[in-house]
Amino acid sequence: MRPRLLIKRLLFLVLVIWAASTIVFFIPRLSSRNALRERFAELARTGGFSSTDMEKIIASMQKQFGLDQPLLQQYWQYLNNLVHLDFGVSLYKYPATVTELIAQALPWSISLLLVTTILSFVIGNLLGAIAAWPRSPRWMRGIATPFVLLTGVPPVIMGVLLLFFIGFRLKLLPLGGSYSVGLIPDWSWPFFLDLMAHQILPALALIFGSVGGWVLSMRGMGITIQGEDYVNFAEHKGLTPGRIFRDYYLRNTLLPQVTGLALALGTVVTSAIIVEGLFALPGIGSLINVAIRANDFPTIYGIVIFITIAVAVLMAILEFVYPLIDPRVKNE
Amino acid sequence: MLKFKLAVAAIIAAAALAAPTVGYAQATPPTTGEIKPASLADVPRNQTLVVGWGVSGGEPIGDTNPWALPGYTHQAGNVLMWEPLMYFAIFKNEYIPWLADSMDYNADFTSLTIKLNKDAAWSDGTPVTSADVAYTFEQQLANDKLPYHANFVQFMDSVTTPDPLTAIVKFKTPAPRFKFEVLSLKFDTGIPIVQKAWESKQKDYTAVAGGTEIPHSGPYNIVAWNNVQKIYDLRPDWWAIKAGRHAVPAVKRVIVVNTLDQTVDTVAQRLVTNEFDSSTDMRAQIIGNILDQNKDVSSWTGNESPYGYLDWWPNSLWMNTQLAPYNDPNIRKAMSLAIDRDKINEVLYDGAKIASIYPFPLYPNLQKFADSPEVKAEEAKYNPGEFNLDKSAALMTAAGYAKNGDGLWAKDGKTINAVIQAFPSIHGDIAPILAEMLHTAGFDSDVNFGTDAYQNMADGKPGLYLFGHGASLFDPFEALNLFHGKYSAQIGTTAGNSRFSRYKNAEFDALLDDASPRASDDPKFQSDLAQALGIYWRDTIDIPVIQWLHRIPYNNHYWKNWPSSTNLADGTNGAFWAQTGMLVMTGLQPSGAQ
Amino acid sequence: MTTVAMSPQQAIEQPNGLVLLLRYLRRNKGLAVGLAIFLALVLFTVIGSFTVDLKHAYPLSVGLKKPPSWQYPFGTDFFGRDLLAAMVVGLWQTAVIGILAGGLGTLIGVILGFIAAYFGGFADATIRTVCQILTPIPVLLIQVVIASSLDKRDVTIFTMAFIVVLLAWMGPTLVIRSQVLTMKERQFVSVAKLSGVSDFGIIFKEILPNLLPFIAAAFVSQVFLAVFAAFYLAVLGLGPLREPLLGNIIWAATGQGAFFNGWWWWPIEPSIGMILILGSLALINMGLDELANPRVRRTE
């Protein structure tokens, strides 16, 4: 790889992270809510925490976290910490650090989110490509439409319906949780099966909602490609429809979609907020849900930046991989 | 083409491998705080108690030290590890001696003698001695981060330990309620006793989680803890068995399942399928349906409405009485006249009489107080529960308001801000109803379920606050003490400890000050408080709305002997998350299911 | 050399615009279905506003928890809203958010895209880089954070539209920019330039008309995104709670355990409403994609 290009890409990555961290820094500070106070309030409300000196404790903790300094100074401190990869301590779940919390939550999300994103990518794009291909049989093209309509179904309703009918009425699959009550995680076959069984319904809820998006964009792509000369040329050459579909059509429509795959990983976390809540999966979605509700900004920053970095890095990797797959694309 | 296929195949393969691999991440060395045992003893389902819990997401994993604050909570099973000097059984109206055999006041309530049980011991084998008790008290006095610091500062002068089983507390002023309020565990209040040896070894005990190593006196040990579940196992060397305090518990294992944000539907379903034996409390409609769908499930009142027991948190619409226009008692009264308590009962509770006019729950002793002739006389004088839109309108016009184009009361172009600050998880059903009632009566009302609701209450912002009175359990003193002028924060500061009304009235304060050193059964005490309650109604310090019910589902499929209205058991409420939860859980008997 | 007599020119009959449109719709079934559903929803809302008492869309107006019947065709909910009235009001409120946010987003996209492509150089580089930098940021997440940071009393339909627009304009900007770039090089623009038409003239008279299909497609997809984001925020409980936005109704229903308690109509109706709205927008979007690409536009 040419060094100039590498530097350019790295610079881009840095800019993206800076932009994301700046945007997300100021927003929660707009409101006067304070996560420390929320936590104490909750303790007071539910736990009989009757210290009238709550204010003093909060004040001393604010000082400890540097929250009483002017905003701009906090911003510099924040950027400084970021560079050292220090996300700080969670205000709401004090004294756990944000890195700890993310590490605790990640295992419960990552398999679910990765698998569902890739599955809906594959299924959605295939359906979208078929839908746009004029030579597909009528009924195959028709399949796309119901999936597109499904994007309108709120994941909340989809999840509740799945739980109600499949989990409760039919008792086929568990009603939530990451694994069955009373088990401890270990490297065993029965545990693995139990884990997978608990992932099926949440995966379905996520996939159904997101396939439609891929179908739409792929179909749009497909329509554009259809008109291209090389497709016509392939037809005139007399290649079989299947071969044209696979080698000329699919391959070219799929490539631009791959960048979208990286972006989709970012949006799937937001869908995960709802789905993880519904199915009691203590993953990243649940973590940020609690953080947002308590205005626990260190955790919010940590998660948003983490996701942004993941997406940006993935995009960068894909851009390097692109020329390997499509020799026409040269890095300028 | 080959490269393309390879690339796609590689991506899919990577994902497929990633899934289980990362799922197994839990099996690798624990991330900080998590408690991961190498293996678990085999305990059959019918010796295990499974409860669902998801109220707050804030509990740090691994926090078993009651002094690891903020963060420690007793609610999700930690009650099984920590014990007090005495418990209080609210429905039997009596103390349950526990670590202490007795706690006796002297004649004028200036000193308390505590005698410990000779068999009381910690999980590491050492006995519980008066040194531990003294250390617990002294630290509360010294460290302002501990929850009862303020109470100790106000009342305790010193504590002495003449022998290992006796501790004598000296009070600065007569403190007749200290034994009840602070030293007994009930509902969510009171302090447990901690071990001096372990806590004093820590550099800063508020920053140490405790995990599995902290010695405790309670019957269960924490064996596993992650974001999904907490598992507690019974320890056979529990001191209470040898001391004869308690039989060997039939529940050998307790699992607290984290239900996070699952909808009530799903938690209800998990009860119906017998996955859960109990859960957080439910709304009326839901619990009725659960009872219908699974005949093994019952509630505090069996299979009948209202399905729950009275909790200690009756709700009112509070407001900042130092802020205009809420500083005018007539306007407060006008708002109170807009609330139709019968309609609330009809709409939300299927007719059960839940709407209330008192700032305290109607527990046996408090019911007696409310029924006393003095209180009844005050009630007749001020008629606090009245619903009358015409009277409300008359008061408003007298205060100089006129209805504007939207039908709302306005003066100088400004309407009366009656936005209700509330919590969606518990007020989801009642807040919108109250808002509509106020709106109909001409107040500019809406609901704020945002996360800044509590902050607004504490800051005394304009609007109404739907909040409870977590104070009185036995006598009305603590509830009315919420309105004592000495606690009323200035505008611009934050009201600590839920004293949102910032009410200041010398007459009221005088009554409470006179009552404070008196015992609860002193007739002067009773009449002082009756008059104070009268002032509460006269000035509409806040608008009482509803008593609070805990409708907790009990699944009798595996376990029976849950406390209920017909089965008092130990006399406590049936919440496994209350400070008395340990008694509830260890009192359960197997139902014989496999 | 022979001359061939040609018959006198006959007036070529052009079918009028409406007939052409209908013929096109017959070919492009997706667009037709989408438009049909959309029109049906508009009719529902308009007729509803005149025939139904809209005050009943708010709590405590009518009897509670009643299943669908002649009196209340959509039933009532736990708080006493007439769900028919709630759907009518909710639909047009959703429409307001969608059109406001969608329109604003498209407008910003068109303006920025034009500036970037037409004037090139520094403007182009800046706008393009900013768009690219903002792309990997998880937009929906940031919107959730913004919505939950606001003071509850400030959350209205209009602030929701604003939140939604804030980070949604990058897509149309890049699309319009690339289209304008292609057109800039086309012959008709060069010709216009040579004839001395001013820059503005070129923009408005030459390029813009050719861009209309793309702008329309961008608008529809922006409306789709706006409605989706607003709906998502409402389902999380972050919308203006008293208003009968479809997402709010679903949030309230799941909070009160509607399915378990047997009030199935309460969450199902707004869900169907949402499916219809988003579905019709998606189908229209699909149809416009075709329209915008003349090579693919199906010929008769």
- Interface contact C59-B264, CB threshold 8 A: no
Of the ranges A111-120, A321-330, C182-191, the best mean pLDDT one: A111-120
Model confidence band, residue B496 (pLDDT cutoffs 50, 70, 90): low
Handedness of CA B493, B499, B502, B506 (dihedral sign): negative
C70 to chain B, any CB pair closer than 8 A? The answer is no
* pLDDT value of position C17: 66
* B228 three-class SS: coil
Q: Which of B23, B75, B273 lies at the smallest CB-CB distance from A195?
A: B23
Handedness of CA B346, B352, B353, B359 (dihedral sign): negative
Q: What are phi and psi of B351, to 5 degrees?
A: 90, -15
Ranges of residues in chain C with a pLDDT under 70 are: 1-17, 27, 151-154, 187, 189, 199-203, 290-300
Q: Of A107, A287, A115, nearest to B25 (Cα)?
A: A107
Contacts of B424 in chain C (CB under 8 A): 237, 255
B419 to chain C, any CB pair closer than 8 A? The answer is yes
Contacts of B450 in chain C (CB under 8 A): 148, 150-152
- Interface contact C152-B419, CB threshold 8 A: yes
- Interface contact B285-C58, CB threshold 8 A: no
Instruction: Name the residue in chain C with its Cα closest to that of A274.
Output: C236
* B464 three-class SS: strand
Interface test with C, best of A141, A145, A290 (most C CBs within 10 A): A145
Q: Report the pLDDT averaged over residues B278-291.
A: 86
Instruction: Name the residue in chain B with its Cα closest to that of A185.
Output: B27
Q: What is the pLDDT of residues B547-573, one digit of tens each?
A: 888 889 999 999 999 999 888 888 898
Contacts of A220 in chain C (CB under 8 A): 286, 289
C154 to chain B, any CB pair closer than 8 A? The answer is no
Contacts of B149 in chain A (CB under 8 A): 51, 53
* C16 three-class SS: coil
Subunits next to A (3 or more Cβ pairs <8 Å) are B, C
* pLDDT value of position A32: 65
Instruction: Name the residue in chain C with its Cα closest to that of A149.
Output: C279
Does pLDDT of B241 surpass 70?
A: yes
**Measured between alpha carbons, how far is B222 from B242 in angstroms, rounded to an integer?**
22
A212 to chain C, any CB pair closer than 8 A? The answer is yes
- Interface contact A27-C149, CB threshold 8 A: yes
Phi-psi region of B109 (alpha: psi -120 to 50; beta: other; left: phi over 0): left
A82 to chain C, any CB pair closer than 8 A? The answer is no
Model confidence band, residue B20 (pLDDT cutoffs 50, 70, 90): very low
Q: Which of B269, B429, B435 lies at the smallest CB-CB distance from C78?
A: B429
Q: Report the pLDDT averaged over residues B367-384.
A: 91
Model confidence band, residue B252 (pLDDT cutoffs 50, 70, 90): very high
Could you tell me the CA-to-CA distances from C193 to A172, B408, C177, C196 in Å, in that order?
A: 70, 63, 20, 5
Interface test with A, best of B24, B251, B502 (most A CBs within 10 A): B24
Model confidence band, residue B19 (pLDDT cutoffs 50, 70, 90): very low
Q: Is the confidence metric ipTM above 0.90 for this complex?
A: no
B449 to chain C, any CB pair closer than 8 A? The answer is yes
**Measured between alpha carbons, how far is B133 from B167 in angstroms, rounded to an integer?**
7
Q: What is the mean pLDDT of chain A?
A: 78
How far apart are the CA of B148 and the nearest CA of chain A, in angstroms?
6
Interface test with A, best of B144, B155, B228 (most A CBs within 10 A): B228
Contacts of C262 in chain B (CB under 8 A): 289
Q: Which of A44, A96, A195 lies at the smallest CB-CB distance from B33?
A: A96
* pLDDT value of position B79: 92
State the count of interchain CB pairs (< 8 A) between B and C.
Answer: 73
Contacts of C151 in chain A (CB under 8 A): 31
Instruction: Name the residue in chain A with its Cα closest to that of B37.
Output: A184
- Interface contact A311-C140, CB threshold 8 A: no
- Interface contact B145-A57, CB threshold 8 A: yes
Q: Which of A12, A27, A154 lies at the smallest CB-CB distance from C146?
A: A27
* C204 three-class SS: helix
**Measured between alpha carbons, how far is B51 from B559 in angstroms, rounded to an integer?**
12
Does pLDDT of B376 surpass 80?
A: yes
* pLDDT value of position B167: 94
Contacts of B65 in chain A (CB under 8 A): none
How far apart are the CA of B157 and the nearest CA of chain A, in angstroms?
18
Lowest mean pLDDT among A50-54, A210-214, A293-297: A50-54
Q: What is the mean pLDDT of chain B?
A: 86
Helices within B317-372 (DSSP H only) = 329-336, 341-349, 364-371
Query: If contacts are CB pairs under 8 Å, which of residues 105-164 in chain A contact chain C?
Result: 145, 148-154, 156-157, 160-161, 164
Extract the tokens encoding B23: 């799922």
Contacts of B39 in chain A (CB under 8 A): 184, 186
Q: What ranges make up the beta strands (E) of C238-278?
A: none
| SS3 per-residue string spanning B117-163 | CCCCECCCCCECCHHHHHHHHHHHHHCCCCCCHHHHHHHEEEEEEEE
Interface test with B, best of A40, A60, A93 (most B CBs within 10 A): A93
Handedness of CA A201, A203, A205, A207 (dihedral sign): negative
Instruction: Name the residue in chain C with its Cα closest to that of A142.
Output: C30
How far apart are the CA of A106 and the nearest CA of chain B, in angstroms?
9
Instruction: Name the residue in chain B with its Cα closest to that of A117.
Output: B15
Are C219 and C152 a contacting pair, CB within 8 Å? no
* pLDDT value of position C258: 83
B447 to chain C, any CB pair closer than 8 A? The answer is yes
- Interface contact A118-B39, CB threshold 8 A: no
> What are the DSSP calls for B287-324, one per residue?
HHHHHHH-TTEEBTTBTSTT-SEEEEEEEEEE--TTST
Higher-confidence residue of B151 and C11: namely: B151
- Interface contact B228-A95, CB threshold 8 A: no
Contacts of C151 in chain B (CB under 8 A): 450, 452
C259 to chain A, any CB pair closer than 8 A? The answer is yes
State the count of interchain CB pairs (< 8 A) between A and C.
Answer: 138
Contacts of C282 in chain A (CB under 8 A): 148-149, 151-152, 212, 216
Q: Report the pLDDT averaged over residues B161-169.
A: 94
Model confidence band, residue A332 (pLDDT cutoffs 50, 70, 90): very low
Q: Of B208, B188, B198, B218, nearest to B80 (Cα)?
A: B218
- Interface contact C231-A315, CB threshold 8 A: no
- Interface contact A167-B496, CB threshold 8 A: no
Q: Which of A108, A186, A294 lies at the smallest CB-CB distance from B451?
A: A294
Q: Of C243, C232, C226, nearest to C285 (Cα)?
A: C226
Subunits next to C (3 or more Cβ pairs <8 Å) are A, B
* pLDDT value of position C300: 34
Does pLDDT of A281 surpass 90?
A: no
Q: What is the pLDDT of residues B23-53, one digit of tens each?
A: 444 444 344 578 888 888 889 999 999 999 8
- Interface contact B58-A290, CB threshold 8 A: yes
Q: What ranges make up the beta strands (E) of B150-228?
A: 156-163, 166-171, 184-185, 220-225
CB atoms within 10 A of CB A189: 7
Instruction: Name the residue in chain B with its Cα closest to that of A288.
Output: B57
